[in-house]
Amino acid sequence: MTVDQTLRAVADPTRRSVLQLIEQGELPAGEIARHFPQMSRPAVSQHLRVLVDAGLLVVRSDGKKRLYRLRPGGLDEAAQVFQSVWATRLARLRLVAEEEERRA
């Protein structure tokens, strides 16, 4: 899994909704699908597969059920990218503000 996979996975609003739904705890695929009545079960399964492949969800079997839960740390690499960009931007802003202050 790569940061690119993670970002592509969370770029889709349906997948973000799935992540928010599962945030409360492990859920079976059928329960997840019930939250998306406008979508076919195969379509929901495809979204779940993308999230698993991106390392955002973990799946386990319990009899005939497939249970999905958030993978701890699944968003960490992507978050680090954003934190790095944000830190760089804040540092630049500080330099500009200090320069303006010196001019005043």
User: Mean pLDDT for each consecutive 10-residue tract of the chain (104 residues)?
Assistant: 85 96 94 96 96 94 94 80 76 82 80
User: Residue 98's pLDDT is what?
Assistant: 84
pLDDT at 67: 97
Position 29 scores a pLDDT of: 95
> What pTM, to 2 d.p., does this model score?
0.76
Query: What tokens appear for 43 in the block?
Result: 């379509």
Topology given in CATH for the domain delimited by 3-103: Arc Repressor Mutant, subunit A (1.10.10)
- Alpha-carbon distance of 11 to 56, in angstroms, equals 13
In this structure, the chain runs to a length of: 104
Residues 72, 11, 88, 3, CA torsion sign:
positive
